Amino acid sequence: MQFFSTRNYDKTVDAPTAITEGIAKDGGLYLPVSFPSFPMERLLTLDNEQVSLQTLSLLFDEFTEEELKTAIHNAYSENFENGDISPLTPLGDAYLMELFHGPTCAFKDVALCLLPHLLRLSAKKLGIEDDICILTATSGDTGSAALFGFSDVPGTKIIVFYPHGGVSPMQRRQMVTCPGKNTTVAAVKGNFDDAQTGVKNIFANQPNVNGVRFSSANSINIGRLAPQIAYYFKAYRDLCKNGKIAMGDAVNFVVPTGNFGDILAGYFAKKMGLPVGRLICASNENRVLTDFFETGVYDKNRPFHLTASASMDILISSNLERLISLVVGPEKTAQYMKELKESGRYSLDKETHEKLNAEFFGANADDKETAVIIKKVFEKYHYVMDPHTAVGYAVYEKYKAETPKDKNVTVILSTASPYKFTRAVLPALGTEVFDDETANMETLRIISGTEMPKALFATLHAEELHKDVIEIEDMSAYVERKAAKHE
């Protein structure tokens, strides 16, 4: 399979190159030149690892089946608590796809446990002997998942930037306590969009560090995005096997998202043959995506809100560029991205806007609505959800109210453990919040009747190893300094 940039379809690269580079040289993101068909007739016979293998074999055919099989097994066999990377849980008339049973208790684990293996395979295929330095901006969960995946992986270094004061206490602790001689973490004085733009600028200018190449663990990297496609197929398989749908029935998916990567993976699954009905894009108070789907105008010129669903506090949704490119082509996409950079906005024509709305539905929920949902779901089902999942559930209810004729079975992606966000969850349940996070987690354990994740509990007692706080304009120099260190 070959890949081209969202901004130029004339030049293609192979999968190892796309994965290693992370972002195209023209600033665009890599897309497959075509979407191969998933053999739906075989889906019910495949186990979890085989679903991932089938998905990745179609997209990354430069790797042998045995190479991918080994990478997938090493990524998933021991890193997920119950052996199932994405179990379905019924909740009323919908299903939650729980994606938080990995080592950092967030959906990012599904891809970031696998990405280091894909990156090492890619480097080997290309004969790269330089160290690969992973640069990542995070709104909360990508950072800890990437650090876990790349910690002490030979031939790699990883530098993670997160917004100072813009992540939850648990998300911060997961990052700043991460061991590994090849790990670096820094808080930046700005929001996630500032950090993400800084990383993109570093890629565009390619720091000259002898013996080091740079790549990304954000979903701008196709090697990070592709593994997420598999759990859409797996959810569909499970619904069929449980008799909830028949093969060929359409299924809706609700996705809490800020950077648009997780929901785009669902769109890719649809392009590969999965019977997807509507993809429902759930945003928080930073409703830039909601407004985009409602009006056809993408405008980041607005107040930035710090919310309880911190991982979605984003105004520049990078992966939207991939969707736009698939609909309007590279020339218009390049023009839109130029307008976004220069003026902070761009506007779709009416035909394109209508085409997107046939596939997607966008709505949002603010913190008050999120808290109401957390309490409502707990009282009705005795199930505690984190604030991001609660945003998704709130938007699901809005979608049902607006589209009563849509009777498709719906799956809501549950993206993080509530134990990562006790200071948002406990007040919503009417319970006191303590300064001591251990007490908060114990309170949630008692209320919910669930076991607290061992990895999070261990994090509370780990030593803080990363204490740097830097200015946005110092990111490039910081990367050059840290990437050049030999430790």
List, by residue number, the catalytic residues.
108
Angle (CA) 297 303 308, round 5°: 105
Contacts of residue 354, defined as CB under 8 A and 6 or more positions apart, other chains included, come to none
Residue carrying the six token digits 């530098």 = 159
Q: What is the pairing mode between strands 183-188 and 468-470?
A: parallel
Helix (H, G, I), strand (E, B) or coil at 183: strand
DSSP code at position 474 = G
Contacts of residue 368, defined as CB under 8 A and 6 or more positions apart, other chains included, come to none
The pair of structure tokens assigned to 125 is 């295929």
Helix (H, G, I), strand (E, B) or coil at 91: strand
Residue carrying the six token digits 């990562």 = 420
Rg (CA), the chain: 21
DSSP code at position 137 = E
Max distance between CA atoms of the chain, in angstroms, equals 61
Per-position DSSP letters for 199-254, written without gaps between them: HHHHHHH----TTEEEEE-STTSHHHHHHHHHHHHHHHHHHHHTTSS-TT--EEEE
Amino acid at position 56, single letter: L
With residue 398 as reference, give the H or E element that holds it. Answer: helix 387-402
Q: CA quadruple 10, 15, 18, 22: dihedral positive or negative?
A: positive
Contact 155, 217 (CB under 8 A): no
Contact 392, 255 (CB under 8 A): yes
The pair of structure tokens assigned to 17 is 């190159």
The pair of structure tokens assigned to 316 is 């520049």
DSSP code at position 14 = E
DSSP bridge pairs for 469: 187
Angle (CA) 137 141 147, round 5°: 70
Contact 99, 232 (CB under 8 A): no
DSSP code at position 318 = T
The pair of structure tokens assigned to 460 is 């509370």
